[in-house]
Amino acid sequence: MNRFNFRKNLLMVVDIVLIALSALVSNAILSLACVLLKLPQEVYVVNDIRLLWIILLNAMFCFFMLFICGAYNKVWRDFNKKDYLYCTVGVIAGLLLSGFFASLAEKQANPIFYVINFVVSTGAIILFRFIFKRTFINLTEYGRSENYERTLIVGAGQAAKMILTDISNAHADPNNPSRDILPVCLVDDDDAKRDTKVMGIEVVGTTKDIPRICKEFKIKLILFAIPSCTEEERKDIMALCSKTDCKIKMVPYLSQLLFDDDKPQLLNQVKDIKIEDLLGRDPITFDRTEIRKFIEGKVCMVTGGGGSIGSELVRQIAKYNPEQIIIVDIYENNAYDIQQELRLEYDDALNLVTLIASVRDYDKMEAIFKEYKPQVVFHAAAHKHVPLMETSPAEAVKNNIFGTWNMVTLAELYTTEKFVMISTDKAVNPTNVMGATKRCCEMIVQYKSQSGSETEFVTTRFGNVLGSNGSVIPLFRRQIEAGKPVTVTHPDIIRYFMTIPEAVSLVLQAGAMASGGEIFVLDMGDPVKITTLAENLIRMYGKIPYKEVEIKFTGLRPGEKLFEELLMDEEGLKSTANKKIFIGNQIDIEPSALLSKLEKLQEYAACNDNENTVDMLADIVPTFHHKKNL
């Protein structure tokens, strides 16, 4: 406050001096004009005691009116266009009063003098304020740490107030990592908040102005502080934020905020924006009570339990108090990682068995079924990488199709209650070997369901999973962090996306809802353009796409298509209790034809005859349209 009073007093003195000098400069300009234009100086120029009177009256009345207009009530960094306008009004009013009283005392000057004096006085006062403001900001910012971040806060409500309070407290603590956050301005779509202040920080526009404001105010960090907004509103605002070069952080939803003594410490809960925040749909909700009834007290087996989907399945199953979890995976490193993670979290409270085995080995898998007698089987083991399966179709068939055949056969043999297979949207009208093998797996599961088995067989189908092994996001991140170009196969390629927890929750919900034979499909909202995904991820690293990080288009890979589909044309849709989950109608399977073709397929795959393997696969899956790349 003392510093502010000093600056205010300094400004008052400078204004008085500038007003006095402006009168002298105006008089000099008139004198020069009279010489150049050969005008009578006695008419226009003030060369007597009147000039002293005018200077004193100008200084007194202009200072008074500037004071009345609030020219000395603001700190320097908060000066804006409206304040400069008030200064202009103050000078006009002051000069009018000065001229009026000068005329009463018969000390007035020519009207042209007052016009020139107004221009010079106003220009001097506004220019001084602008220069001083920039000098003040540069001086106060000089010497700050390299981590100092000029910050825009989106939202001017209660959350913004709490964040500003937290930032203020952080500035007083030299060990607080948030002390280098400098709130510069706010934006809010409420017109009533425009040009108002929140704890001294001004609301300078709406969310639509974010790109312009970030450039104008040299913003480095955007804090999204509207925890009560809808997913659609958040998506729209995030899209605007992603057009800037700023880092983006956000306050969680109200339902996700943690409270301490009924007061959330928001700054500690602010998180980095995640790529899934831009998917453009509401988070998927599930009936956890129904899932608990499905899992609790059951022996649950997860094949591929060390993979990205399988390991998340194991994590979520563990929360519902199963009798036992059996992790089956051929890759020991992943299996070990999830085993250690669960042991650390649950200690001895979770009955966990981790087995290294391949679903291709019927005898080994039978021994596991015989010993542990799983009541629920989640079959997530599969080769999923599209280009690799194009070059090794026989291996895809051995692992995906006949690994699944082994599992469904044993599940039926040992009267497993439910068998849930993990499928993919690439199984719909497949153009690659991996998708065709998964479609064949769906047919096998439906065949078993239609065979009168006591086991309830069900398939879950979903799109690409963010962050899973082999997905684009980890690849993009590695490329950006290594300073390499981000590679996208085609500028127009689009995909459906969901998060790993959403995908796994769908699997559990489907298992709980299943009565046998269904293909459960998740409504995943609008598909996402991979190029846009890459651009947004680059921006989230604080870099500029195509300028600081190149995006290179490499061409579609073997078996890859521009658009993925979630449903076969002949399946149709049936709604469920969960508005985001639908059921595709069963497709009748001719058992003898399917079994005969599978027998031939197995022979070709066992001989590593890739060409005939692909041909037979196309015979089994009529919707498989494949350009051979063998």
Structure tokens at 129: 């304020």
Encode pLDDT of 479-523 as tens digits: 888 889 999 988 888 776 677 787 788 789 888 888 888 888 876
Band of pLDDT at residue 603, cut at 50, 70 and 90: very high
What mean pLDDT, rounded, does the chain reach? 82
Per-residue model confidence (pLDDT) at position 367: 98
Q: pLDDT (tens digit, 9 = 90+) per residue, 575-601?
A: 777 776 788 767 678 999 999 999 999
Q: What is the DSSP letter of 256?
A: G
pLDDT value at 563 more than 70? no
Tokens 């499909």 correspond to: 521
Q: Say what the pLDDT of residue 398 is.
A: 98
Q: Which of 257-266, 463-472, 555-564 has the highest mean pLDDT?
A: 555-564
pLDDT in tens, 109-119: 778 888 888 88
Place 264 in a pLDDT band, splitting at 50, 70 and 90: very low
What is the average pLDDT across 199-210? 90
pLDDT of residue 477: 82
**pTM for the structure as a whole:** 0.61
Q: What is the pLDDT of residues 225-260, one digit of tens each?
A: 887 777 678 778 887 887 787 888 877 654 444 444
| Catalytic residue of the set 220, 298, 426, 580 | 426
Of the ranges 78-82, 227-231, 272-276, 353-357, which is most confident? 353-357
Average pLDDT over residues 527-539: 78
Whole-angstrom distance, CA of residue 369 vs CA of residue 362: 10
| Average pLDDT for 516-543 | 76
Residue appearing with tokens 């913004």:
160
Select the more confidently predicted residue: 327 or 111.
327
pLDDT > 70? residue 365: yes
The pLDDT tens digits for 397-432 are: 999 999 999 999 999 999 999 999 999 888 888 989
Residue 102 pLDDT grade (very low, low, confident, very high; cuts 50, 70, 90): confident
pLDDT at 53: 82
pLDDT at 300: 98
Residue, of 126 and 327, whose pLDDT is higher: 327
Of 84-88, 191-195, 229-233, 467-471, which range is least confident?
467-471
- Long-range pairs of 567-574 with CB within 8 A, sequence gap ≥ 24: 567/428, 567/521, 568/428, 568/429, 568/623, 569/429, 571/519, 573/521
Whether the predicted pLDDT of 56 surpasses 80: yes
Average pLDDT over residues 550-578: 69
The Cα–Cα gap between 538 and 540 comes to 5
Does residue 431 or residue 10 have the better pLDDT? 431
Distance CA 150, CA 220 (A): 5
Q: What is the pLDDT of residue 94?
A: 87
Residue 426 known to be catalytic:
yes
What are the residues whose beta carbons fall under 8 Å from the beta carbon of 490, sequence distance 6 or more?
A: 530, 553, 555, 556, 562
pLDDT at residue number 261: 44
Identify the top-confidence range among 88-92, 446-450, 539-543.
446-450
- What whole-number distance in Å separates Cα of residue 488 and Cα of residue 15? 60
Residue 77: what pLDDT? 56
pLDDT surpasses 70 at 572: no
Higher pLDDT, 276 or 380: 380
484 token code pair: 């390499």
C-alpha distance from residue 357 to each of 261, 303, 304 (Å): 50, 9, 10
Q: pLDDT tens for residues 158-177?
A: 888 888 888 877 766 666 65
Question: Which of 54-58, 79-83, 316-320, 510-514 is predicted least confidently?
Answer: 79-83
Q: Which pLDDT score is estimated for 357?
A: 97
